[in-house]
Structure 1
Amino acid sequence: MIEKRQFYINGSWVDPVSPHDLPVIDPSTEEEVAVISLGGEADTDAAVLAANAAFLSWSQSDPAERIALVERILEVYKSRSEDLAQAMTLEMGAPIRMSRNNQVGAGAWHIEGFLKVARDYAFVRKLDGAPNDRIIMSPIGTVAMITPWNWPMNQVSLKVIPALLAGCTMVLKPSEIAPLSSVVWTEIMDEAGVPAGVFNMVNGDGAGVGSQLSAHPGVDMVSFTGSTRAGILISKAAADTVKRVCLELGGKGANLVFADADDKAVERGVRHCMQNTGQSCNAPTRMLVERSSYDQAVEIAAAEAEATRVSSAHDDGRHIGPLVSQMQWDKVQGMIQTGIDEGARLVAGGTGRPDGLNRGYFAKPTVFADVTPDMTIYREEIFGPVLSITPFDTEEEAVRLANDTPYGLTNYAQTQDRDRMIRMARQLRAGMVEINGASRAQIAPFGGIKQSGNGREGGEFGLDDFLEVVAVGGWPAD
């Protein structure tokens, strides 16, 4: 049994003021594999106090010093990559090959991207036509970071690294479901030499430490990734202190497959939907297919889902692992049953565990056809390996269907028509649009509109979110 009850506050590992043990469950086996402690208000206060005190000096540090620190973090991160991979496989069920390549790789990729941006970032800028004015990009202050379980290092790196480069101090509260990788991350921060108080980590749940940080008068900004429901609660809690709130929330991505799409478009869409066992906010879970290609697309999608292998996260190979928890398994099973009950045509998968997997939170890769916009599986985020397919007749109808959702994170389009590509990029209501399987660049911003959140993560836009714009008049002449 792994025991990780301590928190990291003011540069030291400390015991909780009042221990409150919580087991960590391996979703592949349903066994308790570790124990952490949930923090209380005294732990939260201590971490915020340490961050506030450290801000006085860290905010005035040379950007070159901050860049050098992040370069050291990247070096240590790479040296601990196997520890991170093993932790994520154990805590949230990412297959070990995916943990090594994608989960760990995402963190390193983002760190490298932020370093590229920071080296050329102008923290002091001239104002055109005003020779005695300057714009200072000033660190916002102490940031509370509340991160999810589905892409742990992806989300931690997208928050901690730009905050460090901006000159902010911080308190990280990782998901209590998947805390072990963030413990390793914290060890990396300590080994890299992050000054005491600049980075702090307190484990806890949303109702406890999460709520305390959101409402804390010593916190200047909350950066949250998780469900839309939780994001709304955080925004309300933060309102009394008028702090900045940046939210990366849920999604219900539409994947528009036109008749002139390439031969692999449908297979690619299914694989993307099933990746990480469907537990990605930007998953293309609604496939909208032009009617002339619809029957063939349904057949291809069903075959691809049936060919998707499901196995223990600890097994090597290309497969999907379990859902993260019993609660998530119950939710996904309920949504699949709702799809059946509401009349969607089940063409692959269904309720229950895959054959041969009688223990662990495993779900069948599932595809529904003939899904209509009034159905629950069309409208609500499932966060599991479930794809809904809907036909359309015209481009205008496809866009209307895609945009008919309270979410607006990522939409996708598959077409060989250049003009249509541009129309889709302009007309699809989302923070991100990906065309023909082309992923976004390393320094591109990640984030959504509507109930998918606000603010952006990654690249220059992600650095901007941790900075205030200060207008200065009377700047001394050069």
Structure 2
Amino acid sequence: MSLEQWHRDAVYVGGRWQQPQDRRTVGVENPATEEIVGRSAEAGGAEVDDAVAAATAAFPAWAAMGTAGRVAVLRRWLDVLRAQRELLVETTIAEVGAPRTTAEESHVDTALDVLEGYLTAAGEVAWEEEAGHSLVLREPIGVVGCITPWNYPLYQVLAKVGGALVAGCTVVLKPAEITPMSAYLLADAASVVGLPAGVFNLVPGSGRVVGEALVTHPGVDMVSFTGSTGVGARVSGLAAPTVKRVALELGGKSASVVLPDADLHTAVAGTVAAAMLNSGQTCSAWSRLLVPTDRLDEAVDVAVAAVERLVVGDPTATGTDMGPVVSAAQRKTVLGFLSRAVEGGAVLASGSPDRPAGLDRGHYVMPTVVTGLLPGAEIVREEVFGPVLTVQGYRDEADAVAMANATDYGLSGAVWSGSDEKALAIARRMRTGQVDINGAAFNPMAPFGGYRRSGNGRELGKWGIEEFLETKSVQR
């Protein structure tokens, strides 16, 4: 795709493209080459006002269309997106730096499966039910401001927008400023299928300007935000004066617990793959590996061997397993965590985290295994959001559960065991929103969300639709 095709200097409001008042644009960088590969409009408060007004005007008719009518329209939207799969993949490679296979499977295909899941789950929602002499109705909450991050730009948008639109809400979307191009393609597809004007609005721009204008806007009934825990707390505070509903999908520091009866090599290899997916920039990454103390050295050796097999480099090249992190700032953050860990006595068992040999540009961090850690070490407690796996030993199952839960987060986790029953028993004791047993596959129909500082609310499946519904009781 050419630079000219990626140059988008407009916002999508009320079913049409229009120029922002200030006509500013911001560059979109390819993190593998550090080249500007496109430009995106940088909207302001005036565009937010216009988008909220358009969404407000469109809401009554969209809500009244009924579930079947909305699903039919959104099915056409999905069909157009599926036809543009290759373009979506190329865009993801360019703006995220994801290798082709990761862009295909974990970014684009998963995102489209999520939208498909919402269309299927619409029939599972209890839109009306009886409670004694009352009729309980579930109705769309209204205008939703969706604010999404840069790590999985297409997936994160559809995880929010898909549920909101199926529910009957109208949407104003603010994608991440550094990865806006996938959102532009969604807006293009919405225009092609004739999604009613104002139902879906795209207002790119900075979090400080567009994001905060959305969160504080009195015409926005709900905000759905994915990002860091610190920014999520600020979103909650800014939304409080207007008492709007806020759904937050925030950080994670998830543990992969390998029980004594598990196949250690399979468990460690599976954990490394999950931890390094998307260059470790996954909120649900299993970034902490917990193994029996008497097998700690063996587990470290297996983990190091697994990361050394990963091919790090050009995301467009065949056979590349891992590309760069998304920006220079993110690379600095990850390397800072590793530097401070070493200063505190930790050991980088996999060697230097610096760029791969032969690459003098690109925001690369080599996949890194860290051991020799104290229980309260920063790199064990805080989300790194990079290709970093810590490995620690535990005494017994009670100690393993305590270590897994010794975090402010609670988004994801894993248990490995030769017994599904034993693994399930441990999973029940983990204070986290989802747990995978023995490497079970991601399920786009199951609820996704976290405990504690990993946020509140749920996305995906019928739960991701219900998040955008109000409940009304009618007594008869």
With the length of structure 2 as denominator, give the TM-score of the two structures: 0.97
Note the residue ranges of structure 1 that are not aligned, 5 or more in a row.
Answer: none
Verify the 8 A CA contact 2:140 2:468 in the aligned structure 1: yes
* In structure 1, distance between residues paired with 2:60 and 2:444: 32
The residue correspondences of 1:221-236 to structure 2 (distance < 5 A) are 221-236=222-237
* In structure 2, distance between residues paired with 1:62 and 1:375: 52
Verify the 8 A CA contact 2:313 2:356 in the aligned structure 1: no
Note the residue ranges of structure 2 that are not aligned, 5 or more in a row.
Answer: none
Verify the 8 A CA contact 1:349 1:365 in the aligned structure 2: no
Deviations along 1:69-118, one digit per CA (max 9) or x if unpaired, are: 11111110101111111111111111122212221101111111111111
SS of 2:435's equivalent in the other structure is strand
Equivalent position to 1:368, from 357, 367, 370: 370
* In structure 1, distance between residues paired with 2:274 and 2:18: 41
Q: After TM superposition, give the deviation of residue 440 of structure 1 in Å.
A: 4.2
Verify the 8 A CA contact 2:311 2:319 in the aligned structure 1: no
Deviations along 1:236-286, one digit per CA (max 9) or x if unpaired, are: 000000000000000000111122112411011011100100000000001
The equivalent of 1:76 in structure 2 is 80
Equivalent position to 1:459, from 448, 458, 461: 461
- Are residue 149 (structure 1) and residue 150 (structure 2) matched? yes
Verify the 8 A CA contact 2:314 2:320 in the aligned structure 1: no
- Paired residues in the alignment total 471
Q: After TM superposition, give the deviation of residue 37 of structure 1 in Å.
A: 2.1
* In structure 2, distance between residues paired with 1:93 and 1:150: 10
* In structure 1, distance between residues paired with 2:440 and 2:281: 20
* In structure 1, distance between residues paired with 2:197 and 2:370: 52
Query: Bigger shift: 115-124 or 210-219?
Result: 115-124
- Are residue 422 (structure 1) and residue 427 (structure 2) matched? no
The residue correspondences of 1:106-185 to structure 2 (distance < 5 A) are 106-127=110-131, 129-130=132-133, 133-185=134-186
Deviations along 1:127-179, one digit per CA (max 9) or x if unpaired, are: 2x32xx21111000000000111111111111111111111001000001100
Query: Bigger shift: 256-265 or 275-284?
Result: 256-265
The residue correspondences of 1:152-301 to structure 2 (distance < 5 A) are 152-262=153-263, 263-301=265-303
Verify the 8 A CA contact 2:415 2:436 in the aligned structure 1: yes
SS of 2:125's equivalent in the other structure is coil
- Are residue 51 (structure 1) and residue 55 (structure 2) matched? yes
Equivalent position to 1:101, from 99, 105, 117: 105
Query: Bigger shift: 74-83 or 368-377?
Result: 368-377
SS of 1:348's equivalent in the other structure is coil
Q: After TM superposition, give the deviation of residue 61 of structure 1 in Å.
A: 1.2
Query: Bigger shift: 134-143 or 152-161?
Result: 152-161
Verify the 8 A CA contact 1:306 1:349 in the aligned structure 2: no
Q: After TM superposition, give the deviation of residue 318 of structure 1 in Å.
A: 4.2
* In structure 2, distance between residues paired with 1:422 and 1:212: 44
* AA in 2 matched with 1:290: P
The equivalent of 1:3 in structure 2 is 7
SS of 2:242's equivalent in the other structure is coil
Identical positions, percent: 42
Verify the 8 A CA contact 1:251 1:410 in the aligned structure 2: yes
* In structure 2, distance between residues paired with 1:160 and 1:182: 11
Verify the 8 A CA contact 2:47 2:203 in the aligned structure 1: yes
Q: After TM superposition, give the deviation of residue 387 of structure 1 in Å.
A: 0.6
The equivalent of 1:449 in structure 2 is 451
* AA in 1 matched with 2:290: L
CA RMSD of aligned residues (A): 1.1
* In structure 2, distance between residues paired with 1:64 and 1:167: 11
* AA in 1 matched with 2:38: A
* In structure 2, distance between residues paired with 1:274 and 1:179: 23
Q: After TM superposition, give the deviation of residue 120 of structure 1 in Å.
A: 3.8
